Chain A
Amino acid sequence: MTTRLTGAPVQRTEDRRLLTGAGRFVDDVQVGPQTLHAAVLRSPHAHARIVDIDVDAVLDLEGVHLVWTHEDLAGVSAPLAEPLPLLIPHPALTHGRTQHALARDEVNHVGEAVAFVVADDRYVAEDAVARIRVTWEVLEPVVGLEQARAGERLVHDDVPGNVGARLEQGTADAEQMAAALEAAPHRLALDLEVERSACTPLEGRGTVARWDPDSDRLQVWTSTQTSTGVRAAVAARLGLDLGQVDVITPDVGGGFGVKINHPWPEELLVPAAARVLGRVVKFTEDRREHFVSSAHERGQLQHVEVGFDDEGRLLALDVEFWHDHGAYTPYGLIVPIITSTQLLGPYKPQLYRVVFESLYTNTTMVTPYRGAGRPQGCYAMERTMDAIAAHLGRDRTEVRAANFIQPDEFPYDQGLVFQDGRELEYDSGDYPALLEKAKALVGWDEFETFRAEMAAEGRRVGIGLACYVEGTGVGPYEGAHVHVETSGKVKVATGLTTQGQGHQTVFAQLVADELGCRFEDVEVVTGDTRRMPYAVGTFASRAAVMSGSAIHLAAKRTKEKALRIAADALEADEADLEIVEGSVRVKGSPGSAIDLGTVAVLSNPLRYAFDEASKAATQFSVGDPGRPPVAEDDEPGLEGKDFYSPERATFASGIHAVVVETDPDTAEVTILKYAVVHDCGTLVNPMIVEGQIHGGVAQGVAGALFERMAYDESGQLLNASFMDFLMPYVTEVPDGIDIDHQETPSPLNPLGIKGAGEAGVIPSAAVFAAAIEDAEGIRVTRMPMSPSDLFHLRTDQRQEPTS
Chain B
Amino acid sequence: MSAEEPHEVHLVVNGTTYDVQVPARRLLSDALRHDLGLTGTHVGCEHGVCGACTVLLDGRPVRACLLLAVTVDGHEVTTVEGLAGPDGTLSAVQEGFRQCHGLQCGFCTPGFLTTVTAGLRENPDPTHEEAREMVAGNLCRCTGYQNIVRAVERAAELGREQA
Q: Which residues of A contact B (CB under 8 A)?
A: 11-12, 14-25, 27-28, 31-32, 60-63, 121-123, 200-203, 251-254, 256, 286-287, 499-502, 687-688, 691, 693-699, 721-723, 727, 729-731, 733, 735-737, 760
- Residues from chain B with a CB closer than 8 A to the CB of A253 are 42, 44, 105-108
Q: Which of A11, A202, A695, A733 contacts B98 (CB 8 A)?
A: A11
* Most B C-beta atoms less than 10 A away, residue of A14, A20, A287: A20
- Residues from chain A with a CB closer than 8 A to the CB of B145 are 694, 698, 729-730, 733
Instruction: Let me know if B107 and A254 touch, CB within 8 A.
Output: yes
Q: Which of A19, A200, A730 contacts B113 (CB 8 A)?
A: A19
Instruction: Let me know if A723 and B49 touch, CB within 8 A.
Output: yes
Contacts known (A21-B110, A32-B37); A691 close to B105, Cβ less than 8 A: no
What's the least CB distance linking B54 to chain A, in Å?
Answer: 13
- Residues from chain A with a CB closer than 8 A to the CB of B141 are 200-202, 254, 256, 695, 698-699, 727
In this complex, how many residues of chain B approach chain A with their Cβ under 8 Å: the count is: 61
What's the least CB distance linking A198 to chain B, in Å?
Answer: 11
- Residues from chain B with a CB closer than 8 A to the CB of A121 are 34
Instruction: Let me know if A202 and B105 touch, CB within 8 A.
Output: yes
Kindly supply a per-residue 1/0 record for chain B positions 90-110, scoring 1 wherever the CB is within 8 Å of any chain A CB and 0 otherwise: 100010011101011111111
**Can you show 8 pairs from A to B with CB atoms below 8 A apart?**
A12-B98, A21-B41, A254-B104, A254-B142, A500-B105, A691-B142, A694-B147, A722-B50
- Residues from chain A with a CB closer than 8 A to the CB of B98 are 11-12, 15-16, 19
Q: Which residues of B contact A (CB under 8 A)?
A: 1-3, 23, 25-26, 30, 33-34, 37-47, 49-50, 52, 79-81, 83-84, 88, 90, 94, 97-99, 101, 103-110, 113, 128, 132, 135-149
Give the complex CA separation of A254 and B142 in angstroms: 7
Give the complex CA separation of A24 and B40 in angstroms: 9
Q: Which of A11, A21, A200, A500 contacts B79 (CB 8 A)?
A: A21
- Residues from chain B with a CB closer than 8 A to the CB of A20 are 40, 80-81, 83-84, 88, 90, 94
Contacts known (A32-B37, A63-B3, A286-B46); A23 close to B106, Cβ less than 8 A: yes
Instruction: Let me know if B146 and A202 touch, CB within 8 A.
Output: no
What's the least CB distance linking A214 to chain B, in Å?
Answer: 25
Give the complex CA separation of A32 and B36 in angstroms: 9
Q: Which of A19, A693, A698, A735 contacts B103 (CB 8 A)?
A: A19
Instruction: Let me know if A688 and B101 touch, CB within 8 A.
Output: yes
Give the complex CA separation of A723 and B45 in angstroms: 9
Instruction: Let me know if B47 and A723 touch, CB within 8 A.
Output: yes
Instruction: Let me know if A15 and B132 touch, CB within 8 A.
Output: no
Give the complex CA separation of A499 and B141 in angstroms: 11
Closest B residue to A502 using CB positions = B104
Instruction: Let me know if A695 and B49 touch, CB within 8 A.
Output: no
Instruction: Let me know if B146 and A203 touch, CB within 8 A.
Output: no
Instruction: Let me know if B2 and A691 touch, CB within 8 A.
Output: no
Give the complex CA separation of A17 and B98 in angstroms: 11
Contacts known (A63-B3, A123-B25); A727 close to B106, Cβ less than 8 A: no
Contacts known (A15-B97, A722-B47); A202 close to B42, Cβ less than 8 A: yes
- Residues from chain A with a CB closer than 8 A to the CB of B106 are 14-15, 17-19, 23, 251, 253, 500
Closest B residue to A22 using CB positions = B40
Closest B residue to A685 using CB positions = B101
- Residues from chain A with a CB closer than 8 A to the CB of B39 are 21, 24-25, 27-28, 31
Instruction: Let me know if B101 and A687 touch, CB within 8 A.
Output: yes
- Residues from chain A with a CB closer than 8 A to the CB of B110 are 21
- Residues from chain B with a CB closer than 8 A to the CB of A736 are 146
Instruction: Let me know if B144 and A202 touch, CB within 8 A.
Output: no
What's the least CB distance linking B39 to chain A, in Å?
Answer: 4
What's the least CB distance linking B135 to chain A, in Å?
Answer: 5
Instruction: Let me know if B105 and A729 touch, CB within 8 A.
Output: no
Give the complex CA separation of A776 and B101 in angstroms: 37
- Residues from chain B with a CB closer than 8 A to the CB of A254 are 104-105, 107, 141-142
Contacts known (A123-B23, A735-B132); A18 close to B46, Cβ less than 8 A: no
Ordered nearest first, which 7 A-B pairs have the shortest CB separation? A21-B40, A500-B105, A253-B107, A18-B106, A694-B144, A698-B144, A500-B104
Instruction: Let me know if A721 and B49 touch, CB within 8 A.
Output: yes
* Most B C-beta atoms less than 10 A away, residue of A501, A696, A722: A722
Contacts known (A11-B98, A19-B97, A737-B146); A202 close to B3, Cβ less than 8 A: no
